[in-house]
Amino acid sequence: MSTLERTIELTGRLVAFDTESSRSNLPLIDFVADYLRGEGVPFVVAPNATGDKAALFATIGPNVDGGIVLSGHTDVVPVAGQNWTGDPFALRREGERLIGRGAVDMKGFGAVCLAMVPEFKAAALQRPIHIFLSYDEETTCLGPLDLIARFGDALPRPGAAVIGEPTSMRVADAHKSVSTYVTRVVGHEIHSANLHRGASAVHAAALVAGELLRLGEELVAMGDPTGRFDPPWSSLHIGVIQGGTARNIVAKDCAFHWEVRGVPGIDAAGFVEKRLAAFTQALNERYFAAFPGTGITTEIEVAVPGLAPQPGSPAETLALRLARANHTVAVPYASEAGQFQRAGIASVICGPGRIDEAHQPDEYIEVAQLAACVEFMRSLARELGA
């Protein structure tokens, strides 16, 4: 069986595990662990705090610092409400397309890494190649942190990281940061005929939402110092608002979820947080002072660091050479690359498939993209081999 054929087979095996972020990924991790044992490859598994998910870090080659980590996440987005034409968790082939949830985002990349293990082993590597499989990338990007914290101590410290999110095998060196928030308002409930004797959580939430939208316009005016992103600015988006009981009841509760996506070079989240804190304090004093136990609070849920360009970094130089490319791109989505970079590991994103197919019904990856990724990995093996 060729490496590409093995890749297709392994893509099917990985897709068959329903690893939506709300579910456990342990069956998939157990499968990968058994596969690696069969290949004689050492690895460590790091469970999360509740024990229902885990990350895996494997090493092919010498157990020394300075290797290359190939990183991908095992979780996928939900399929509920999407119009699939077949079982999302049974990979099927239509011509040159492999269709299944996670095929492109990003189990195809994981399958390439696993399928390449025999070739990596045969390459007499002078520096190691690490395979890193994480969890919760689609929700928090916190899944790799436990193992990243062990780099240079219990685990060898990689010299560079390649995160295999779909880029059509182009080398991406930048993405925006993402910070997500929930704002909750507790009001004083009363009949709406006596509005002046209450404090509406919905009214206050609307005022806060309006302020956020104004702050979003200021982010747009700041633009994009890098000149590389589409849209060319940091953005603020309010995604969900829930609150109130009835039209004629002054609302007791309201909450909304929102996010800030910041271009490198601008602390968009810090800017919004500071301005919102001042606005909220003034509104609380004016609107809720007479009603104990009421008021507005905002909590940050997730803060995913951006990936800032590092021209000439070991990761960029290596990936461009392996991809036979002469320039990098920026991507509009966030990833775990920023977590590696924050830990001092030079990082880029380069993986098979198009991001446009991710999260869609009948998600697919083209066989040609998997083949291109295999060739990238073969070049990596030659680069690090004897």
User: Is the pTM above the cut of 0.85?
Assistant: yes
The angle formed by the CA atoms of residues 337, 343 and 349, to the nearest 5 degrees, is 15
Q: Are the C-beta atoms of residues 283 and 208 closer than 8 Å to each other? A: yes
The stretches in the chain having pLDDT less than 70 are none
Res 332: pLDDT: 87
Tokens of 102: 């996670």
For the chain, what's the residue count?
386
Tokens of 371: 């083949």
User: How does the average pLDDT of the chain come out, rounded?
Assistant: 97
**What percentage of the chain has pLDDT greater than the value 90?**
97
Res 122: pLDDT: 96
Region class of 158: left (phi > 0), else alpha (psi between -120 and 50), else beta: beta
Strand order in the sheet with 177-186: 235-243, 253-262, 177-186, 295-304
Buried b (16+ CB within 10 A) or exposed e, 370-379: bbbbbebbbe
What are the pLDDT digits (tens) for 135-178? Answer: 999 999 999 999 999 999 999 999 999 999 999 999 999 999 99
Q: Which residue type is seen at 385?
A: G
Res 96: pLDDT: 96
Q: Give the whole-angstrom CA distance, residue 83 versus residue 97.
A: 18
Res 1: pLDDT: 86
How many Cβ atoms sit within 10 Å of the Cβ of residue 245? 12
Fold (topology level) of 3-174+306-384: Aminopeptidase (3.40.630)
Res 226: pLDDT: 86
Res 63: pLDDT: 95
Res 41: pLDDT: 98
Domains of the chain, by residue range, sit at: 3-174+306-384, 177-304
DSSP code of residue 147:
H
In words, the CATH class of domain 177-304 is alpha beta
Q: Are the C-beta atoms of residues 348 and 171 closer than 8 Å to each other? A: yes
